[in-house]
Structure 1
Amino acid sequence: MRCVIAHFPFDFVKSEVEQLMAGITPEPALGPCVVIGRRTYPVKQVGAVITRQDRRDFTAGEMTRALTRLGFTCVTAPAPTPPESTELPGFQF
């Protein structure tokens, strides 16, 4: 499938993307992510690997659209929960 990412045309095939991502450890999932096999990768990480472009050159939206069109499941990872407060209840300064 032909996609334009950061103004450059690419021809992607789902099996090639799976093959390129095999053996790559996923970075911590924050924001837009894609499920490839049993792993969840940030879309920017996948984009950097398969296009060999700097992550600043393309948007997460461009990669999400391209990966969805290829048949991958894209999700948004939940934001990390803040640590519990160590304040004592009812204590104020």
Structure 2
Amino acid sequence: MRCVIARFPFDLSKSEVLATMKDVDPEPVTGGEYVIIGRRNYPAKQVGAVITRQDRRDFTSGEVTRAMTRLGFTCRSAQEPAPQQALAPVENASALLGGPLPGPTTLEP
């Protein structure tokens, strides 16, 4: 798929990105946007620098996340709250009603 990053066209495929990023250790996600590749979270700027071989100052993280989303990767913002863990039906009902979550309780004599 043809993607434009930093005003330069690139022909990228999902398999090429996976192969390129396979041996790259992810940098810490400290803020901004990140791309989930396999089971790893890579900062968008790191992905852009590796796949385009350009300086990180030449493109925005938005350009990279748009391209990676079009290729089928999941992109998120570090400021977004993490997805909530699924609750059991009883716990979900209790939370919706504003009551305490069911759990182990101790009865005092």
- Do the two structures share a fold, i.e. TM-score over 0.5? yes
Deviation at 1:45, TM superposition (A): 0.1
Correspondence for 1:69: 70
How far does the alpha carbon of each residue in 1:6-55 deviate from its partner, in whole angstroms, 9 at most, with x for none? 11000000010000001111001121000000100001000000000000
User: 1: CA distance between counterparts of 2:39 and 2:79?
Assistant: 18
Correspondence for 1:56: 57
List alignment gaps of at least 5 residues for structure 1.
80-93
Write 1 or 2 for the structure with the bigger share of strand.
1
Taking every aligned residue pair, what percent have the same amino acid on both sides? 70
- Give the 4+ runs in structure 1 shifted more than 2 A: none
Where 1:35 maps in the other structure, the secondary structure is strand
Deviation at 1:76, TM superposition (A): 1.3
Where 2:4 maps in the other structure, the secondary structure is strand
Deviation at 1:78, TM superposition (A): 4.0
User: 2: CA distance between counterparts of 1:6 and 1:78?
Assistant: 24
List alignment gaps of at least 5 residues for structure 2.
81-109
| Count of residues in Structure 1 that have an aligned counterpart in Structure 2 | 79
Structure with more relative contact order (C-alpha pairs < 8 Å, separation 6 or more): 1
Correspondence for 1:3: 3
Greater Rg by CA: 2
Where 2:50 maps in the other structure, the secondary structure is helix
* AA at the equivalent of 2:26: P
TM-score by length of 2: 0.70
TM-score by length of 1: 0.81
User: 2: CA distance between counterparts of 1:59 and 1:41?
Assistant: 15
* AA at the equivalent of 1:25: D
Correspondence for 1:17: 17
